A and B are shown apart, each in its own frame.
Chain A
Amino acid sequence: MNEQQTLFELSRPGRSGTEAPEPDSSLPSLADCLTEENLRREPSGLPEVAESSIVRHYTRLSGLNMSIDTNFYPLGSCTMKYNPRINEVAASNPGFSHVHPLCEDRELQGYLELFSRLEEMLAEISGLPHVSLQPAAGAHGELASLMMIKARCRERGELERDVVLIPDSAHGTNPSSCTIAGFKTRNINSGEDGTIDLDSLREALGPDVAAMMITNPNTLGIFESRIDEISALLHEAGALLYMDGANMNAILGITRPGDFGVDVMHFNLHKTMSTPHGGGGPGSGPIAVTDELDPYLPVPRIVRSEGDLELCSDRPLSIGKVRSFFGNSGILVRAYAFIRAHGPGELRGISEHAVLNANYIRRRLEQAYHLPYDTPCLHEVVFTAKKQKATGIRALDIAKRLIDLGYHPPTIYFPLVVHEALMIEPTETETPETLDRFCEAMLQIAREAEENPELLKAAPVTQVVKRLDEVNAVKTPILTCPCDEPPSETEAG
């Protein structure tokens, strides 16, 4: 495969990718509008490329990606499931897409109705009665939640509570969100079964603890089966329990965070509710809370007044706005469509199949790959490359070899508590045939690791590039494309 030229290499003076609307000649001239001192002296250095060349450029670039639409994508902790097209059709209605955020509330009744229903649905799914749809991503939901916890400490005169407990298996966003919300973090070790060690928790609890952040099931795919003891310990100590909702795909309709003592959680609609990941966003990270935390939720809130819905920002204890305007509305529309396409039984079915699929993979691969924990798993399974170490093979090599066999690699080197981790999350939308083929590929790789380890170390060889030199990328940073190379003689595109 040839490397794709950059837009700047495709650029030729005077070309254009579109005809922008020409201003009416009877309008005041630019010189009558603005004086020289305000105007830029030279045009910007954007590339000049013909429309057909740009279309080919991006079409070719798209072909260099693996995606859900093209490949099985068992990226643990990311819940890469099929994204139904109906969600895209629903969101492309100009009655949603072409709506201005500063219209009056009575001009937004359709949106507010949808948001209000979605809030109710997420409240029912989480078992927590109040929901804010504002946060733009999971990490943003975490941050908003921690700001609320901080605001509650301030309101209660408990600012000495400045520590948040974080299990060692947590996502990296958890501790970094804490720092930004003005908390210190204290680590909680996992026990031998991969769940939170209660002794470590008891030891860490004190009058300085504001909250604990858990993920349940945790990043090993293991359910914290003593979660009611954990929440009781925290609440007795005057601290709150926060749940990272990244793994909600395992427990829809089976158990609810609000029912096992969680005070505040965030959803990842781009995971659980199948809004597309978009190559890294936009996501959406709504938060759900108890009655006690309701007053601290970000503004605006949706309230009903004489039949109409209104946006209300008059909430004195609120942490304020976390994002301009309303949130990632277009993503909320897609998530609503997804939930509507599933009744209560079908939502539960999502988790049942996600868990069944993960356990099937676990069973088929547990001889060939080392399982660091034999505790039953839910929607994802974590293996390691320990058995392959003898021939110098690392998790990275297994991941890269999978690429040559047509699969997106699992998450590797996470969670940090597992050495050489390979974290596989198949989701509910894969067929048994796909799972079988994937398992066969993994078994083939395990054999190759013994018989022909060089094959793994050289992988991938089927893509546009082989392994990339990340160290060099930092040592000699090139963060923009070269823009001023003379055009070559051969016509591009």
Chain B
Amino acid sequence: MLEALGLDSIEELFRCIPEKIRLGRNLDLPKLASEPEIIKEMDSMAARNARMDNRPSFLGAGSYLRFIPAAIDSLSSRGEFNTAYTPYQAEVSQGTLQAIMEYQTMLCQLTGMEISNASMYDAGTALAEAVFMAYAVRRKGNKVLVSEAVHPEYRKVLDTYLADHPIEAITIGLENDLTALDSVARSLEENGDDVLAVILQNPNFFGLIEPMENAGSLLGCGRGEDNAPRLDRPLLISIVDPISLGILKDPGAYGADIAIGDGQQLGNPPNLGGPTFGFFTTLQEHVRKVPGRIVGETVDSDGKRGYVLTFQTREQHIRRERATSNICTNQGLCSLRGAMYMAFLGPEGIRKVAEASARLAHYAHGVLTEIEGVEATSTAAFFQEFSLRLPAEAGTVYRTLAERNIGGGLPLGRYFPGRENEMLFAFTELSTKEDIDTLAAELGRVFSKDMREANA
């Protein structure tokens, strides 16, 4: 090939790079490793991570270990899906495009919302984009009310995104670990039309079921008399757990204007929190302000059904500095797995998974609150997660459990200073009664010993 180019050496191809900025040495990197060497090296690193699947594990808080139908791994790893790029060339991307169209539809079915985009990076960035969208749609107000029971990681991401924006986030405190709706009402009165959106999470970070319908009525949610979306009130941004929608009321039912969430639980392993995908759903009329890619149905030159990326004029590659979002790639493969999960589970499967998680969690709540010194932190209804006040520092308890090969719940002090003795326990359909009994027995032993020592 060099010959065809009339060159003596490859070096000549790089003549356009001035000599003085050339590296002029080899990169200081380890030498090439063969496949078996790489596998050995990486397996030894993987062995130094704590897994959720080889011990009872009660961590949740936005990332969960769930049953994933075996067919999902084999289908999603097909090179035709995994090694394709964004479906800009529609005729050679109908597989990806139809899969996204079905993904959008299934998410709308699950959430009761009208339209969905093709996915976002995760729930945290989806929340930030939801606030920007609310700002663009409503064009009035620069305050968002954010419940303190919104996942602290999502809140931190939102704060980062808002740092250079005229939008101010106001925290709404808790009562019984639920969002204090009377504080929301007070803030609405004080700030009037300046409130552009209210952000609630359901179930909230503490696993509790928020009074979403009351919140919806407080804000005047739902369409107006002319059936158009109402923009004369703050928008309701609802962060939802997609699995919970197998049994809980959906955001469409309580009139959310934007519903977002994290899709990890839909067919993706925890992966240390990523890659996952954020989902983003809203009302049809807002389509031109939705961030990210959207697939639509159309026809080809013979009138045959086909799918394309649509409303592309919203997007950065066309609108450039006037785009309301800079997102380019979505989380294609993760959302494809999400679509497959919804397809395999179906309405009955997701209902069963949600129901099993809730029933196991309620069994656990009964057993764990019987332990002396352990008490519930809230009396509110919960889905699959709840926090308990322990008679010892929760971080220490976590480490004691780890020594006994149990993955404890989340010590809440990590996010909420002052709540160092509280632990957030999560349960999924993969939890078992036996695991819960083991956890209860170990906690009972730990605390009775602590008590004895404390009393000695």
Contact = CB atoms under 8 A, between A and B. Distances in A.
The answer to whether A and B come from one shared complex is yes
Contact of B65 (A98, A222, A330): A98
A228 interface: yes
Contact of B53 (A18, A34, A94, A320): A94
B56 to A, nearest CB: 13
B86 A277 contact: yes
A340 B41 contact: yes
Contacts of B85: 73, 75, 78, 80, 277, 279-280
A260 B21 contact: yes
A352 B10 contact: yes
B298 A331 contact: no
Interface in B314-348: 315-323, 325-334, 336, 340, 342-348
A58 B65 CA distance: 24
Nearest to B316: A176
Interface stretch (A23-31, A235-243, A287-295, A382-390): A23-31
A279 to B, nearest CB: 4
B308 interface: yes
A346 interface: yes
A63 B69 contact: no
Contacts of A276: 82-83, 333
Nearest to B18: A225
Contacts of A326: 272-274
A341 to B, nearest CB: 6
A34 B351 CA distance: 14
B346 A151 contact: no
Contact of A113 (B10, B48, B106): B48
Interface stretch (B32-40, B138-146, B175-183, B229-237): B32-40
Given A65-B94, A279-B333, A16 B273 contact: no
Interface string A470-490: 101110011111010000000
Nearest to B160: A320
Contacts of B297: 473, 478-479, 481
Q: Which of B13, B15, B77 has the most C-beta atoms of chain A within 10 angstroms of its own C-beta?
A: B13
Given A44-B109, A278-B84, 12 more contacts: A3-B305, A30-B355, A57-B343, A94-B269, A125-B27, A185-B320, A280-B85, A324-B62, A341-B33, A344-B26, A345-B26, A481-B297
A367 interface: no
A54 B86 contact: no
B4 interface: yes
Q: Which of B27, B57, B99, B333 has the most C-beta atoms of chain A within 10 angstroms of its own C-beta?
A: B27
A342 interface: yes
A99 B51 CA distance: 5
B119 to A, nearest CB: 8
B197 interface: no
Contact of A66 (B93, B123, B349): B93
Contacts of A86: 35, 38-39
Contacts of A465: 90-91, 94, 300, 304-306
B441 to A, nearest CB: 18
Interface in B369-417: 381, 383, 395, 398-399, 402, 407, 410, 414
A455 interface: no
Interface string B28-55: 1111110101110111111111111110
Contacts, number: 659
Given A99-B272, A321-B124, A44 B350 contact: yes
Contacts of A325: 62-63, 122, 153, 272-274
Interface in B269-312: 269-275, 277, 284, 287, 293-302, 304-308, 310-311
B109 A46 contact: yes
B281 to A, nearest CB: 10
Interface stretch (B186-194, B218-226, B360-368, B442-450): B360-368
Interface in A3-46: 3-4, 6-8, 15-18, 20-24, 26-30, 32-35, 37-40, 43-46
Contacts of A103: 49-50, 59, 407
Given A17-B346, A339-B29, A478-B297, A67 B84 contact: yes
A173 interface: yes
B83 to A, nearest CB: 4
B115 interface: yes
Contacts of B296: 473-474, 477-479
Contacts of A18: 69, 71, 344-345, 349
A182 B118 CA distance: 26
Given A104-B399, A278-B332, A477 B311 contact: yes
Contacts of B4: 360, 363-364
Contacts of A327: 273-274
A259 B46 contact: no
Given A40-B253, A343-B31, A99 B49 contact: yes
Q: Which of B31, B85, B213, B352 has the most C-beta atoms of chain A within 10 angstroms of its own C-beta?
A: B85
Given A23-B352, A46-B347, A324 B321 contact: no
A172 B325 CA distance: 11
A254 B19 CA distance: 10
Interface stretch (A134-142, A198-206, A446-454): A134-142
B17 interface: yes
B53 A150 contact: no
A62 B80 contact: yes
A223 B16 contact: yes
Contacts of A211: none
Interface in A170-191: 171-173, 175-182, 184-185
B87 A26 contact: no
B200 to A, nearest CB: 15
Given A90-B38, A481-B101, A68 B79 contact: yes
